[in-house]
Amino acid sequence: MNNNSSLSSNRPRHRRGFSLRSLAMAAVIGVCGAAGSAAIHAQATAGNVFGKAPAGDTITAQSTTSGVQRQVQADAKGRYSIGQLPVGVYTVTLEEDGRPVVKHVNVPVVVGRGIKVDFDCAQGQCAELASKP
């Protein structure tokens, strides 16, 4: 009688290669990693416009292609920032007393960057400077 055959059948068998569980775990990690990296890239789809303007005046940035418009007021120190602007080309307008007085056209907004647009005039004098040749 050969006892070798009965001993070999009681041993656990080890498979070579990847198990189904290992492959499933690798797939889940890969999918989650790809989704996480897409979310990081998706956040960087806007830029901003900032600069100086007379304190209290209104600054408007309007996209020349999509029509998206954002509006802010310059702070007490004459600073302003318009954030989260979709990428594109904008017209940035300074308004005094509700009427546009100075425009900067073809202002490019780029992903993750800011572009400086200053309105170099004193409160109430921007319209006068803009009308001079």
Q: How do residues 39-55 score in pLDDT, each as one tens digit?
A: 455 556 899 999 999 99
Residue 24 CA: distances (Å) to CA of 16, 17, 36: 17, 14, 18
Band the pLDDT of 97: cuts 50, 70, 90: confident
* HSE value, Cβ hemisphere, 13 Å, CA-based, for 76: 0
pLDDT tens figures, 100-130? 999 999 999 999 999 999 999 888 888 776 6
Q: Which two tokens stand for residue 69?
A: 């418009």
Please state the length of the chain.
133
Determine how many CB atoms are found less than 10 A away from the CB of residue 74.
21
Fold (topology level) of 46-131: Immunoglobulin-like (2.60.40)
Higher pLDDT, 96 or 9: 96
Q: Say what the pTM is.
A: 0.66
Q: Which two tokens stand for residue 124?
A: 């109430």
Q: Which two tokens stand for residue 98?
A: 């509700």
